[in-house]
């Protein structure tokens, strides 16, 4: 098996560091179907769960049992019936569900208990907690058919789950619920996972599914969706993949009820969970309540992030060096673009009020986020701020990006056209080109 070059590994590990810090102590609910067990994929998934657990992520696992139940029903030559995707759980089906849940739960606990030397599970010491955390109610009659022992979640005992998580246990929930009268109900995987994520106010709800995520009409994967965008997809596209049809409404509901993010990723991609969580782009679809990117005025807390953005450009000679002290003094001049808590762009506007001019400076975008018009967003924000300050022209000094500014309406100018104060500070050794735009 080819190994990652050392420099690539170091770059990836450093890039993952902000996520490692951000995820510590957070609660993730991960839902996966019984196919993950029947296809032998859970061993690899267990390695990734062990890593998340070691990083301080509080994990709640919700498993399904559909293929296992189907196999038991087929062995018994019992009827297999569905209404709107819901199993009609008669007495035979309920017996098969209970049998399948017991088998799957034991297998998951066994695989999470591995601790072989020289393996990702070495010294893992994972404790798995399960129990009667889910109270359920019957679904009753649908389309004239009595679903019998098929139910829906009525309540999640969030306090009991949190207690197990506080004890550093991994919590395992099965698709069974119990009524106050002692009845047992067969529940859907997505219902249990969504209800648990909502009750726990989870930071993330993650569905492992058959497809890569949500696709647009042309078949392209949509990496990020807001709730309104997801609702439009459900309304406008009748040909969604089956599992998208199951999980996307749950994802929308979860986000509307306080879950921070919902991820829909393929179960067939080895390492998809880690790639989705620890890289900028991810490999699936992430649903958010609102836009991930925000444009705002910088604060003193942004100084470190701005320094990280501009330092590589300073090293290349594209930007003039700025000290931390100078940034702290001028921080109110900066606009920053933030993506999910990460600073990905900045720009500064220095007004020369007497001459009705403003300098656009320190325009920078993180390398991983270039090529998507984010520089234009920052430029437009600077132009808007300049107009609000009643400035009539915007100028920029650049050594490397002349064409970019020309393409956006800037004209070449002479040093003599700069405000007098800026002329006095012009560095003739650097020989920056001057461009001006009338506002």
Residue with tokens 């679904």: 139
96: left (phi over 0), alpha (psi -120 to 50) or beta: alpha
Q: Does the pTM exceed 0.85?
A: no
The CATH T-level fold of domain 293-438 is: Aminopeptidase (3.40.630)
Instruction: Decide if 147 contacts 91 (C-beta within 8 A).
Output: no
Which part of the chain has CATH 3.40.630.30?
Answer: 293-438
User: What was the pLDDT predicted at 115?
Assistant: 63
Among candidates 55, 4, 58, 2, which has minimal Cα distance to 28?
Answer: 58
pLDDT of 181: 87
**CB of 161 closer than 8 Å to CB of 60:** yes
CA distances from 278 to 17, 173, 283 (A): 8, 25, 10
Q: Which residue has the tokens 């450093």?
A: 14
Within 8 A by CB and 6+ apart from 329, the residues are none
pLDDT at res. 153: 96
- Whole-number pLDDT of residue 171: 97
What are the start and end residues of each CATH 3.40.1160.10 domain in the chain?
Answer: 6-288
Report the pLDDT value the prediction gives residue 430, as an integer from 0 to 100.
86
Q: Does domain 6-288 have CATH number 3.40.1160.10?
A: yes
Give the per-residue pLDDT at 117: 54
The sheet that has 357-365: what strands, in order across it? 293-297, 334-339, 342-352, 357-365, 393-398, 433-438, 411-413
pLDDT at 394: 96
The reported pLDDT for the residue numbered 1 is 43
pLDDT in tens, the chain (439 residues): 456 566 777 877 777 887 888 899 999 999 999 999 999 889 999 999 999 999 999 999 999 999 999 999 999 998 888 888 889 999 999 999 999 999 999 999 998 887 655 555 556 678 899 999 999 999 888 888 888 999 999 999 999 999 999 999 999 999 999 999 889 999 999 999 999 999 999 999 999 999 999 988 888 899 989 999 999 999 887 788 888 988 999 999 999 999 999 999 999 999 999 999 998 778 999 998 877 778 899 999 999 999 999 998 888 888 888 899 999 999 999 999 998 778 999 999 999 999 999 999 999 999 888 877 889 999 999 999 999 999 999 999 998 889 999 999 999 999 999 999 999 988 888 889 999 999 8
Predicted confidence at residue 239, as pLDDT, reads 80
Tell me how far apart the alpha carbons of residues 65 and 97 are, in angstroms, rounded to a whole number: 7
Tally Cβ neighbours within 10 Å of residue 405.
22
How far CA 52 is from CA of 21, 49, 297, in Å, comes to: 12, 5, 34
- Both tokens of 15, joined, read 């890039």
pLDDT of residue 69: 95
């Amino acid at each position: 098996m080819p190994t990652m070059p050392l420099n690539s590994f170091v770059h990836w590990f450093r890039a993952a560091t902000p996520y490692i810090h951000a995820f510590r102590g957070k609660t993730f609910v991960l839902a996966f179907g019984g196919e993950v067990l029947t296809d032998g994929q859970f061993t690899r998934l267990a390695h990734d769960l062990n890593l998340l657990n070691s990083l301080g992520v509080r994990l709640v696992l919700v498993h399904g049992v559909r293929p296992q139940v189907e196999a038991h029903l087929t062995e018994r030559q019992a009827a297999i019936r569905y209404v709107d995707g819901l199993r009609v759980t008669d007495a035979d089906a309920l017996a098969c569900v209970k049998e399948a849940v017991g088998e799957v739960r034991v297998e998951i606990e066994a695989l999470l208990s591995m601790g072989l030397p020289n393996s990702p599970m070495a010294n893992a010491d994972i404790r798995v907690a399960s129990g009667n955390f889910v109270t359920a109610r019957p679904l009753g009659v649908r389309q004239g058919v009595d679903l019998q022992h098929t139910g829906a979640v009525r309540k999640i005992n969030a306090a009991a789950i949190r207690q197990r998580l506080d004890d550093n246990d991994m919590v395992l929930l099965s698709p069974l619920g119990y009524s106050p009268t002692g009845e047992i109900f067969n529940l859907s995987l997505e219902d249990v996972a969504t209800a648990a994520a909502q009750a726990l106010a989870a930071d993330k709800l993650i569905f492992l599914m058959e497809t890569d995520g949500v696709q647009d009409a042309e078949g392209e994967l949509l990496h990020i969706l807001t709730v309104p965008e997801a609702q439009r997809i459900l309304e406008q596209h009748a040909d969604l993949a089956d599992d998208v049809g199951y999980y996307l409404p749950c994802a929308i509901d979860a986000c509307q009820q306080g879950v921070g993010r919902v991820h829909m990723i393929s179960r067939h991609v080895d390492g998809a969970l880690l790639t989705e969580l620890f890289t900028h782009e991810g490999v699936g679809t992430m649903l958010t309540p609102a836009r991930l990117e925000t444009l705002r005025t910088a604060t003193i807390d942004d100084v470190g992030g701005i320094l990280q953005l501009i330092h590589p450009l300073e090293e290349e000679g594209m930007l003039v060096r700025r000290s931390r002290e100078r940034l702290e003094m001028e921080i109110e001049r900066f606009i920053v673009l933030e993506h999910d808590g990460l600073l990905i762009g900045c720009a500064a506007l220095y007004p020369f009020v007497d001459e009705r001019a403003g300098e656009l400076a320190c325009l920078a975008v993180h390398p991983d986020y270039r090529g998507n018009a984010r520089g234009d967003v920052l430029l437009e924000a600077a132009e808007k701020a300049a107009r609000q300050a009643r400035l009539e022209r915007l100028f920029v000094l650049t050594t490397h990006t002349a064409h970019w500014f020309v393409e956006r309406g800037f004209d070449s100018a002479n040093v003599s056209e700069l405000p007098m104060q800026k002329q006095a500070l012009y560095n003739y050794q650097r020989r920056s080109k001057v461009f001006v735009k009338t506002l």
